Amino acid sequence: MPLCCRVFIATSLDGFIARTDGSIDWLMEAQRSVPEGEDCGYEDFMEEVDVLVMGRNTFEQVATFDPWPYGDLPVIVLSSQPMSEPDSPTIRVCSAGPIDLVAELEAAGYRNAYIDGGQTIASFLREGLIQEMTITTIPILLGSGRPLFTGIEHDIHLERVATRSWPFGFVQTTYRVQG
């Protein structure tokens, strides 16, 4: 069984996942208009995920959250530079490239990987390793920041799977990556 690599992420209408300095204040602000109990499909998405792959930057941000938000889900932190192994049985640092990591996770029996963090998503997309993307568009233009899509060098065709929208202005579309 192949591994399905999925993205679940929010962007501004102009395609940024964070400001240039990494700040997601605009996203936190937008989330204040989301009614209690509405998670925009996150829990349903996470129910199918059996491994989470993120970059070092994202990990360092998430590591400041208390409590740790991913329970006992295995988490792989990709880092090309040496970093100390986190003190947790579920978190592992890995310096492999996307292709090798996917092969390794497949061999280990994983089926659904949540690929997170701008650079990590970009490197997986470049290698044609993302099968599905759920993008939630927040009704704001930032003008500048860290783009979700970067380093793509040829057309990538997508198939729309589902679209949802909410009264608080978010629009969420799930795409399957073709080819």
Binding of residue 144 to a second copy (CB under 8 A): yes
For residues 68 and 149, which CB has a smaller minimum distance to a second copy in the complex? 149
Map the footprint of a second copy across residues 3-42, applying CB under 8 A.
Answer: 13-15, 26
CA-to-CA distance for 65 and 62, rounded, in angstroms?
5
Question: With contacts defined by CB under 8 A, how many residues of the chain interact with a second copy?
Answer: 33
* Interface with a second copy, residue 149, by CB under 8 A: yes
Distance separating alpha carbons of residues 80 and 61, to the nearest angstrom: 17
Q: How many CA atoms lie within 13 A of 131 on its CB side?
A: 10
Q: 147 Cβ partners below 8 Å, 6+ apart?
A: 15, 16, 17, 118
Give yes or no for residue 154 binding a second copy (CB under 8 A). Answer: yes
Binding mask 68-107 for a second copy (x = CB under 8 A): ----------------------------------------
Residues 110-129 that bind a second copy (CB under 8 A): 125
Closest CA to 148 of 18, 5, 4, 58: 18
